[in-house]
Chains A and B, each alone.
Chain A
Amino acid sequence: MISLPSYLFISFLLFVAGMFVMIARKNIVAILLGIELILNSAALNFVAYTKFVNNNLDGHIMSLFIIVIAAAEAAVGLAIVIRFYQLRESVHIDDATQLQS
């Protein structure tokens, strides 16, 4: 039987990995992946807490919604990245500097 702290530890690792990817990587697609990691760590937390702490369905529903909304967000995000790539021919975050005064 896996205990609650193990779940929390894994989700914390996912969170830290996501933060690290977002800060360290310069590729925009990689940053989107980092965001997904963070969202998934939150979803894992919700499911784990539901299993061990309270037994109603709130946490499960919450994590289902997180999955759906994360998919929508990734779709729009990737569409914008493609548009950016077509115009600037790069997916490097340092190329997005036109709007600084």
Chain B
Amino acid sequence: MVESYISSLSAYVPELLACLVMVGLVILEATYSKIEDGKRGLFNLFSLLGLLAVAIVLLLQKSNSATTIFTGSMTIDLLASMAKLVMVIGTIGAFYLSWGSKDIADEQKGEFSILAVGVLIGGMILASANNMLMFYIGIETLSILSYAMASFKKNDDRSAEAGLKYALYGGISAGLMLFGMSHIFGVLGTIQFSEIAMKVTELQTQQLVILIPAFLFFFVGIGYKIACVPFHMWSPDVYEGSPLPVTAFFSIVPKVAGIAALLRVTQLFFAHESVLSHSWMATISVMAALTMTVGNVSAIGQRSMKRMLAYSSIGHSGVLMLCALVPGVEGQTAFLFYTFVYLFMTLLAFFMISAMNDTYGNDYFERFNGFAFRYPMMAILLTVVMLSLAGIPPLGGFVAKFRVLSIIIEKKFFTLAIITGINSVISLYYYLKVVRLMVFKPTETMEEIKTLSYVNQLIYFIIAIPVVWLGINWASVNGLLGVVSQSHH
């Protein structure tokens, strides 16, 4: 017993390290709160190094075989490790964004880092949850801290409203999810995912009558976290009301964690044909189609870039949900590739918007008028990101979308593939709108944008490299993602 516990701890190092980083940040924040000079530097350095250490441990830990730890309550496998890696990199990006951002008051930046690491821990738990209790704890750690982060601007009533909406929608969906879980537990008599997976293959009709609605309720909880369509109402409002670094953070960490959990649940429970798995798959495919369409169509009319990106991230989560339709390694690999590309594209887009927001106080599309003549390099980067988000070859976004499409076409979901293609075209309209404004509209002012210093430009350039590199040389990451697919075949 003790030995299994200690060996479990050794597989749990990334989460423990993240917890230590959080504790260290709390202590630093408390100790240095009176000293103004040099405080931020030490604090930022510690948070950066801590998260880098977590990322390195995750890379070292990456293995192709799945291990269950803590008496089967968590699984550490490739999906979990890589999803965690994406989340950690996303958090580092949001940290960097917050250091320079004017959207968060200076005295609150410490709190932002602390809460962000907390959400990250929640996401890590959710990504490797292997029983209902861990699933619930993960989703709530993720959510409760997010409510506080959404209402971060102290004297801004829009921010308070964003937090309020997030909290109310979150509470309702957590309640529905638990109600569903309680009936799943009642009918199948266990909370362990592995035991549920064995029991769902042989069900009587009376059990199905309870289980189908129960699983539907269960889906609500995940669907809310990844903002899929009937449960997406909170997402644009929360994204708009939150400070910009928080929005960038929300569009990466909770989303990746939620979809990783959806993938795991689908893969465990519904890999075999049954009435239940058919209805689950039908739910996912309908919701994915709706999510893509509603997200992309609503993004067209937006005036604020942030809100446009909120809707576009809803569209992207629709595409990511398609990966869940293909249980197994193919779905996982496509999902991980997509999240890697999505991470860098989203971060870069948010960095640019943040520069505009800090200079002009808003992030309307018109702020990008004539941007190509003021900062040509940055305009090229933004164009690359927008084209990649729309899925234009030869960029990363195209390969990511192509991988998803190829696996779902292999499974004969032709309608879904067509819907994805149409949505890609719709999204091209609003992504290219930014490019059009940058190139063809005369600029209003030649004023210098302070955030776009040479150091920052260099960093943005480095972030843009993976977006292009993954598009041209996409086989290079197969070592990271695809070794597993060979070992399974």
Contacts and interface: CB of A to CB of B under 8 A. Distances in A.
Given A61-B133, A73-B174, A99-B236, 5 more contacts: A11-B182, A46-B185, A49-B182, A59-B185, A88-B160
Interface stretch (B61-69, B161-169, B475-483): B161-169
Q: Which 6 A-B pairs have the closest CB atoms?
A: A38-B175, A45-B182, A42-B178, A49-B186, A35-B171, A87-B157
Given A35-B172, A58-B185, A101-B302, A77 B161 contact: no
Interface residues of B, number: 47
B161 A98 contact: yes
Interface in B344-398: none
A18 B191 contact: no
Contacts of A80: 147-148, 151, 160, 163-164, 167
Contacts of B156: 87
B160 A99 contact: no
B189 A54 contact: yes
B350 to A, nearest CB: 19
Interface residues of A, number: 42
Contacts of B182: 11, 42-43, 45-46, 49, 62
Interface of A: 11, 15, 18, 22, 28, 31-32, 35, 38-39, 41-43, 45-46, 48-49, 53-54, 58-59, 61-62, 65-66, 69, 72-73, 76-77, 79-81, 83-84, 87-88, 96, 98-101
Which of B156, B165, B182, B301 has the most CB atoms of chain A within a 10 A radius of its CB?
B182
Interface of B: 132-133, 136-137, 140, 143-144, 147-148, 151, 154-158, 160-165, 167-168, 170-172, 174-176, 178-179, 181-183, 185-186, 189-191, 236-237, 240-241, 301-303, 307
B153 to A, nearest CB: 10
A87 B148 contact: no
A43 B133 CA distance: 12
A72 B164 contact: no
Given A65-B136, A80-B164, A100 B183 contact: no
Contacts of B161: 84, 88, 96, 98-99
A38 B179 contact: yes
A101 B298 CA distance: 11
Nearest to B156: A87
